[in-house]
Amino acid sequence: EQDVLQNKTGHASTESLEESLNDRPLDVLVAEDDRINRLVLERFLAAQGHRVVSVTNGRVCLEILEERPFDVILMDIQMPEMDGVEATRHIRGRTDARRDTPIVALTAHAMKGDRENFLEAGMNAYLSKPVDFKEIQPLLTRVTAGALSEKGKANHDEYMREN
């Protein structure tokens, strides 16, 4: 049982189970128009065990989200056709559970006031580019903590009905 509870760093503790649950594979939607940034994020997230779908602008991001839910969205701010702030406003204006999808802004500018703009648009957090990979997993864990995916909610509701 100790082995099961052992996390990646080799520490076994009562917190390990919680950590491993928090680090569960996530369905991540990456919206980023820069090809290199997109590829690097895709590879990093896949290497962490996450399932990644990536798109190159906010409009396509909305189209994909219309088709299926995601656990979290990494959203570039500056994109052609529709930028990250506008896409976020559309998502937060939905009337279904996808409205609450955690959104992390990817931003090259960390100007004073930008952070407030992103949060005001409904984003949950932001990562400055170039992204520091050490920051990604802790941030994903934090923004998805307590937020069950729609799939998770459906399973939870079923469990509650049957038990």
Residues in 113-142 that interact with Mn ion by CB under 5 A? none
Distance between CA atoms of residues 2 and 22, nearest Å: 18
- Nearest distance from residue 34's CB to Mn ion, in Å? 5
Which region, judged by CB under 5 A, interacts with Mn ion, from 1-9, 11-19, 27-35, 65-73? 27-35
- Distance CA(107)–CA(87), nearest Å, equals 14
Structural contact between residues 89 and 121, judged by C-beta atoms closer than 8 angstroms = yes
Q: Measured between alpha carbons, how far is 157 from 139 in angstroms, rounded to an integer?
A: 27
Judged by beta carbon, residue 22 or residue 78, the one nearer Mn ion is 78
Shortest Cβ 76–Mn ion spacing (Å): 4
* Piece in contact with Mn ion (CB under 5 A), picked from 44-52, 75-83, 133-141, 155-163: 75-83
Rg (CA), the chain: 17
78 binds Mn ion (CB under 5 A): yes
Can residue 76 be called a binding residue for Mn ion (CB under 5 A)? yes
Q: What's 99's DSSP letter?
A: G
Is 33 one of the binding residues for Mn ion (CB under 5 A)? yes
Supply φ then ψ for residue 29, to 5 degrees.
-105, 120
Give the binding site for Mn ion (CB under 5 A): 33, 76, 78
